[in-house]
Amino acid sequence: MKIVLSDSTEIPIVLNNTNFVDYWVNKKFNDVDNINLTVEQSQCNRVIDEFNAAWSFFNNTVNQINSAIESLHTEQTLNRKMLFPLSNEPTVGYLEKIHEQWAAFTKDSTVYELETWSQLNLDTYHDINNSLKAISCHYDDINWAVHRLEFLYKYLLLTDIIITDAYTFPKDEYKISAADTTFDRQQLMIPFYDIGRPQFEKWGICKRVVHEEISNYNNISNRLHIRIEKASITPPSDYVTDCNIAGVEVFGPNLGLGNFGLHNVDEVGFLLVKEILGNNNIRMVR
């Protein structure tokens, strides 16, 4: 299984080994090879606005720092080494290169214990910031400019993605079991839409695992959540104990499909942001 973007970029998916995932995949891909995922326009606009603001801030910061560096009368070799390279787009690799360059010069300028520290670096560091002070800028601002874009990629959250295929899950055709659910925050999850609360959520409010309001995914939504940041979460021991005492299964709060197969989560976030900025043509392919 994989996500395919409009430029044919592929993002592999590692599916969960559960009965629900088998059911979901077989039903969705019964007679088709791919399904379209539509991110609602309001979310697209939010991502676009956040990206444009972060990218504009980054470029302004780079240009201001480079101008300050070029105005100094230090050794030309040092000047060329310190200038930040420009790019047409903030790829993960480009941002990493900028951050490494900033960190290397800052350490060589301010960490006196390092063998690479020099008085020339320190003086240049101060000269740059004295020049930038007039426009309320600082050499270290590039650090935040990089992280602002990286955080957009790393913490990208796209909720209620519409799966635009002809198949809709009939009510009560498949009953979700505790083994289908997870406490982990996965990158691909089915949202909860039933009237009532999932068992774990209800327990968190009233510390009861048996309640008439509990509804553990009785209806399977035709939508999808994508969350780039994932986390492994252990269920609270008190919750497990209360379930055992009550004689009920331990349901997790999430119904997951799986995770992306790329280890660099920032790269996945960047690719999806880039797609939203462009064609917003995301397909899931079996």
Tens digits of residue pLDDT in 91-107: 999 999 999 999 999 99
- Residue 13 belongs to domain spanning: 2-46+156-285
Paired sense of beta strands 282-285 and 254-260, if any: unpaired
Per-residue DSSP letter, 137 = -
pLDDT, tens digit, for every residue of 18-33? 999 999 999 999 888 9
- The pTM score is 0.90
The structure tokens listed for 255 are 């119904």
Q: Are residues 125 and 141 in the same domain?
A: yes
Q: Which of 152, 185, 205 is the last residue of a domain?
A: 152
What is the average per-residue pLDDT within 243-261? Answer: 97
Rounded Cα–Cα distance for residues 159 and 283 (Å)? 16
Map residue 70 onto helix, strand or coil: helix
Q: Are residues 161 and 42 in the same domain?
A: yes
User: What's the first-to-final CA gap in the chain, in angstroms?
Assistant: 5
Residue 170's pLDDT band (cuts 50, 70, 90): confident
Q: How far is CA 197 from the centre of its chain?
A: 26
Q: Which of 152, 178, 202 is the last residue of a domain?
A: 152
Residue with tokens 């499909």: 257
Length of the chain: 286
Q: Which of 152, 186, 207 is the last residue of a domain?
A: 152
Number of structural domains the chain divides into: 2
Q: DSSP letters along 169-238, please?
A: PPTTSS---GGGEESSB-SEEEPP-SSSB-HHHHHHHHS-S--TTB--SSS--SEEEEES--B--PPPHH
pLDDT, tens digit, for every residue of 74-92? 655 566 678 899 999 999 9
